[in-house]
Structure 1
Amino acid sequence: MKPLETSSPTSDRVPAAAIHAFIETSFRKVGLPDADAAKVARLMTEADLSGADAHGVFRLPQYVQRIQTGGINPKPAIRVDRRAPATALVDGDNGMGHLVMARAAETAIELARETGVAWVGAHHSNHAGPAALYASMPVEHGMIGLYSAVASANHMAIWGGVEALLGTNPLAVGIPAGEEPPVILDIATTMVSYGTIKNYALQGKSIPEGWIIKRADGEPLTDPKRSSEGLLLPIGGYKGSGLALILGLLAGTLNGAAFGRDVVDFNADTVTETNTGHFIVAVDVSRFAPLDTFKAEVDRHMRDMRDSERLPGFDAIRIPGEQREARIRSRSRDGVPLSAELRKKLDDLAAQLGIDPIRT
């Protein structure tokens, strides 16, 4: 079982409120309206609290740069087009992905209250942080949430290929429970997210073998600063490649959003609109069973799983979402670990924007 925290020995603990304030001030400085800056800051801080360290404040300098260079619209007119009782398509007007997907999730929850199930797609959006943020939103309303997106860059080939035509295209599912933590599964369809690779590069860490192979010869690549020479490997071999393909078609092509060769690498191109696509599904549990009964049954099954006999070498069985819940409590109390390297980047950003740095 992995330890609850895997931060660097040189990490500082920073209160979540300080991170939230810094993110909000940064976005206001580059033109986001106050309410939008506060909303994005809240969602990014939630990412850090939950342990999605490559998707919270870590992404702030990149987001700010894209806003400053015209790659993201700081004042979007997000539009919801309800196309049937249980479906909708959200046009994000090239706004921050967090704003677009929060609106999509709110719409899915609202529709599912009326129809029992709702599917909401989004286009003309941007990178929106960790998938679990959105899959967990319906859970708070007694619903099951399912979310996916076309990743904001292609780092994987179709199985057997050498051309990067697929992204890490994540899948997240949230299921409400009773006394147990909600079951929250959040996985990339690659062995690791590309944000993690960027974080390793920032901290000077080597990549474990099995994450990336060299495009030229298929041999392992372990230097994260040379990741542009390689391809991320899919989970489960050809199965992960196939899953990334299907999710890309559902989140991208179905919504009129970018997929395959049309995907813009937002790591390399700060100017071009990405037209990122997402989808979220909300399912009202009460249409199938009384909510309390369902939650109690989820609790029972999760306890059976956690208490089942373990293989040698495992000191515990992890249930998806369990450590996420514990990490939120821990970091809310003790602060979020930020590496010295990330603190330096954020201090540089503060100097560039003319604002106060994050306070420990």
Structure 2
Amino acid sequence: MKIMKDKEMALVKEILAKLGASEEDQELVAEATVDADLKGFTSHGLGRFPQYLISIKAGTINLEDNIIIEKETPAIALINGNSGFGQAVSYKAMQIAIKKAKEVGIACVGVHNTNHFGVTGFYSDLALRENCIGLVLANTDPAIAPLGGKEALIGTNPLALGIPSDSYITVDMATSVTARGKIIESKRKGLDLPDGWALDENGNPTNDPEAALKGSILPFGGFKGYALSLLIEILTGPLVQAGYGHGVTGTASPDKDCTKGDLYVVIDPSKFGDFDEFKAHTEDFISQVRATGETVAIPGDLEVKRIAEAEANGVAIDEKLYEQLKGICDDLDIDIGSYVEE
């Protein structure tokens, strides 16, 4: 089974409309969900969407969301997301960061009291569209055990960084070997995990996704990934007045209040010098990189390829996800057959 881009947008929006979400939230959640699927991060697209509905029913996503700017300077803002959709809160936070960066050169916006927002790179892309550099950090429910420890304490803590250019230059990655969403997706599909991804609750290597979810995911690159995830935990926890360590809930437990934090950093290259010159030099460097070998890849190349393929052929939906979506649609009197193709 598969779903085409426009159909996926329409399906998500219709479901959210039936649940009482605002038109703005419908649009933003749909855009972020489709963006994840087109880029191949299916664990954060429709595959994660049923969790948002659990949160809505549990009241941990506030349909009457309205962000509150609690503190502000020309370059900094601290936002209370008021438990709104993570996608909507993050979009607004990034727009504030972009506006401030265009005024003073660099801006940093912290967010607390928000929700899971999909893929991190969706928000750094917003900065690229405005010819700005975008950096996005977030923390999550504990998933990584400190190096040498057995108990999960640190989140998979993703980061996304995008550079404006004629090429699509961006990285969107968890600081763990894999995102928790991929573990959840493997469990749904009944697939074993690759070696080296996770430990069970006793600290032993495991290929069982259920055991991994009870245990911990390994950081990428050993100490380097662990150190990076730990530092991001501080920048998106204590710094922005959000949860940290055991205090983070809601990203993997949709029926609990979400206590994660986010940090959005935007840099306007034009404040350093001529933007066209910056872009030309960046493209020259990318050309040098590509010239070093026929199979050389630039961060972002894979997403460009995946987007083109998904827009042409649609996004695959496995049987278990289809059944989840069908159950949601049946409850809301929506004909899923008008959206999903066999």
Q: Distance in 1 between matches of 2:322 and 2:286?
A: 38
Q: Distance in 2 between matches of 1:303 and 1:51?
A: 26
| Distance of aligned partners of 1:264 and 1:82 in 2 relative to their CA distance in 1, 3 Å threshold | closer
Q: Distance in 1 between matches of 2:254 and 2:306?
A: 34
Out of 138, 158, 161, the residue aligned to residue 149 of structure 2 is: 161
Q: How many equivalent pairs are there?
A: 339
Instruction: Give the equivalent residue in structure 2 for 1:121.
Output: 110
Equivalences for 1:123-272 in 2 at 5 Å? Answer: 123-151=112-140, 153-178=141-166, 181-216=167-202, 218-268=203-253, 270=255, 272=256
- Residue 346 of structure 1 aligns with an amino acid whose one-letter code is L
Deviation at 1:215, TM superposition (A): 2.9
Deviation at 1:219, TM superposition (A): 2.8
For the 8 Å contact 1:86–1:111, the answer to whether it is kept is yes
Instruction: Give the equivalent residue in structure 1 for 2:94.
Output: 105
For the 8 Å contact 2:146–2:154, the answer to whether it is kept is yes
* In the alignment, structure 1 residue 346 sits paired with structure 2 residue 325: yes
Q: What are the ranges of 5 or more consecutive residues in structure 2 without an aligned counterpart? A: none
Instruction: Give the equivalent residue in structure 2 for 1:281.
Output: 265
SS of 2:162's partner is strand
Equivalences for 1:62-81 in 2 at 5 Å? Answer: 62-81=51-70
SS of 2:72's partner is strand
Q: Distance in 2 between matches of 1:200 and 1:72?
A: 26
Instruction: Give CA-to-partner distance per residue, 1:117-152, whole Å, 9 cap, x none.
Output: 00011010011011111111111111100000011x
Out of 17, 30, 37, the residue aligned to residue 48 of structure 1 is: 37
Deviation at 1:167, TM superposition (A): 0.7
For the 8 Å contact 1:144–1:176, the answer to whether it is kept is yes
Q: Distance in 1 between matches of 2:71 and 2:38?
A: 33
Deviation at 1:269, TM superposition (A): 5.3
For the 8 Å contact 2:51–2:254, the answer to whether it is kept is no
> Sequence identity of aligned pairs in percent?
33
Q: Distance in 1 between matches of 2:2 and 2:272?
A: 44
For the 8 Å contact 2:2–2:340, the answer to whether it is kept is no
- Residue 192 of structure 1 aligns with an amino acid whose one-letter code is T
RMSD after superposition: 1.5
Q: Distance in 2 between matches of 1:35 and 1:326?
A: 29
Instruction: Give CA-to-partner distance per residue, 1:45-80, whole Å, 9 cap, x none.
Output: 112112211111111111011101112111112123
For the 8 Å contact 2:250–2:260, the answer to whether it is kept is no
Deviation at 1:303, TM superposition (A): 2.2
SS of 2:233's partner is helix
Instruction: Give the equivalent residue in structure 2 for 1:5.
Output: none
For the 8 Å contact 2:25–2:85, the answer to whether it is kept is no
Deviation at 1:224, TM superposition (A): 1.2
Normalising to structure 2: TM-score of the pair? 0.95
Instruction: Give CA-to-partner distance per residue, 1:23-44, whole Å, 9 cap, x none.
Output: 1111122221122112211221
Deviates more, 1:187-196 or 1:219-228: 219-228
Deviation at 1:291, TM superposition (A): 1.6
Deviation at 1:225, TM superposition (A): 2.5
Q: Distance in 2 between matches of 1:76 and 1:25?
A: 19
For the 8 Å contact 1:76–1:93, the answer to whether it is kept is yes
Deviation at 1:89, TM superposition (A): 1.2
Instruction: Give CA-to-partner distance per residue, 1:97-129, whole Å, 9 cap, x none.
Output: 001100000000000110010001101001101
Q: Distance in 2 between matches of 1:237 and 1:132?
A: 24
Q: Distance in 2 between matches of 1:64 and 1:339?
A: 19
Instruction: Give the equivalent residue in structure 2 for 1:13.
Output: 2
Out of 263, 288, 292, the residue aligned to residue 276 of structure 2 is: 292
Q: Distance in 2 between matches of 1:27 and 1:200?
A: 26
Q: What are the ranges of 5 or more consecutive residues in structure 1 without an aligned counterpart? A: 1-11, 310-314
Deviates more, 1:319-328 or 1:163-172: 319-328
| Distance of aligned partners of 1:269 and 1:114 in 2 relative to their CA distance in 1, 3 Å threshold | closer
Instruction: Give CA-to-partner distance per residue, 1:264-304, whole Å, 9 cap, x none.
Output: 1543450x311221011010011123222211222222222
Instruction: Give the equivalent residue in structure 2 for 1:8.
Output: none
For the 8 Å contact 2:154–2:230, the answer to whether it is kept is yes
- Residue 289 of structure 2 aligns with an amino acid whose one-letter code is M
